[in-house]
Amino acid sequence: GNSVAFSLGLATTLAILGVAASFAGKAYGQVGQGLPVAASGLGIVMGLNLLEVVELQLPSFFSDYDPRAAAANLPSSVQAYLAGLTFALAASPCSTPVLATLLGYVATSRVCI
C-alpha cells in the first residue's frame, strides 16, 4: 500500500509539471523568441550543473524545520504519498534537463500524442 501511495505522489507531481509545461507550450510560440531562448539557456545551465561545471545552490527556507516530527502523526500511506511528492522534485535535477528538452520539442513540433 505504501509503495502505491509513493507512486501516486510521484505521478501527481509529474502530472502537475506536465500541465504546467502544456500551458507553457501554448505560450511558447506566442511570446516570440524570448521564451525559447530562455528555456534553452535554462536547459544548458541545468546540464552544466549536472556536469558539476556550474554549482547551483537552492535557497534553504526551512533550515531548522524537521519534517519527520510534523509527519509523525500522519498515517503511513499519507507519509508515503508526501514522500513521493517531494521525491519527484528532489529527482528533478537528474530528469528535468531531459524532460524540459523533450517538452520543448513537443511544444514546438505540434505533435499530438
DSSP-assigned letters across all residues of 35-94:
HHHHHHHHHHHHHHHHTTSS------S-TT--HHHHHTTS-HHHHHHHHHHHHHHHTHHH
- Residue 64 confidence (pLDDT) above 60: yes
Residue 15 within any structural domain of the chain: yes
Residue 17 within any structural domain of the chain: yes
Question: If you average pLDDT over residues 83-109, what whole number do you get?
Answer: 75
Report the distance separating Cα 48 and Cα 93, nearest Å: 11
Q: What is the share, in percent, of the chain residues with pLDDT greater than 90?
A: 9
Residue 81 within any structural domain of the chain: yes
Q: What is the pLDDT of residue 27?
A: 61
Residue 63 within any structural domain of the chain: no
Report the number of distinct structural domains present in the chain.
1
Give pTM, 2 decimals.
0.55
Report the distance separating Cα 43 and Cα 38, nearest Å: 9
Give, in order, the Cα–Cα distances in Å from 65 to each of 56, 57, 61, 62: 22, 18, 9, 5
Q: What is the pLDDT of residue 15?
A: 86
Q: What is the pLDDT of residue 43?
A: 80
Residue 92 within any structural domain of the chain: yes
pLDDT band for position 4 (cuts 50, 70, 90):
very high
pLDDT band for position 95 (cuts 50, 70, 90):
confident
Residue 46 within any structural domain of the chain: yes
